Amino acid sequence: MTALTGRALRLTVYIGEDDTWHHRPLYTEIVHRAHSAGLAGASVFHGIEGFGASSRIHTARLLSLSEDLPVAIVVVDTEERIRAFLPQLDELVGEGLVTLEECEVVRYVGRGAGPDEADPKGKKSL
C-alpha cells in the first residue's frame, strides 16, 4: 500500500457515463490505469444531474434526458505522481473537464491494517 500523508493533489475528471475507450466505459479505463500507475486510490461518483461545455442538461429526473449522466473520477496522491499520470488522461479524455486541487491527506489506511496502523482510539479502519 502506498504511504500518503501531508500535502497532496486531488485530480478530478468530469466526463459522461456514456463516454467509452475501446468499447469499455471511460471511467473504468481511467481507474484501471490509475491502479496500474500505482496511484494511492481512485473513486468514481455517478451524478444525477449536470451540464458541461455543450450546455445540454443531463438529468435522471426525466426519462427522455436520463442519458449520459455526469461521472466524476477522483484520484488523490502526491503532486509528482498525479502530474506523471496526466499524459495518460490527455490520451483518454477527448471531451470533459480535468481539474487539480491542492489538498492535505490527514489519514490514509487500508482495510486489514495492522495494529500499528489503527487510529489512536484503537479502532481499525473500515
Mind listing the pLDDT tens digit for each residue in 10-25? 999 999 999 999 999 9
Instruction: Compute the 3-state secondary structure of the chain and give helix, strand, coil in percent, each to the nearest 5.
Output: 25, 35, 45
Q: How many C-beta neighbours within 10 Å does residue 121 have?
A: 5
* pTM metric for this prediction: 0.80
Q: What is the pLDDT of residues 62-97, one digit of tens each?
A: 565 567 889 999 999 999 999 999 999 999 999 999
Angle between helices 79-92 and 26-36 (to 10 degrees): 140
Would you say 47 and 70 are in contact if contact means Cβ atoms under 8 Å apart?
yes
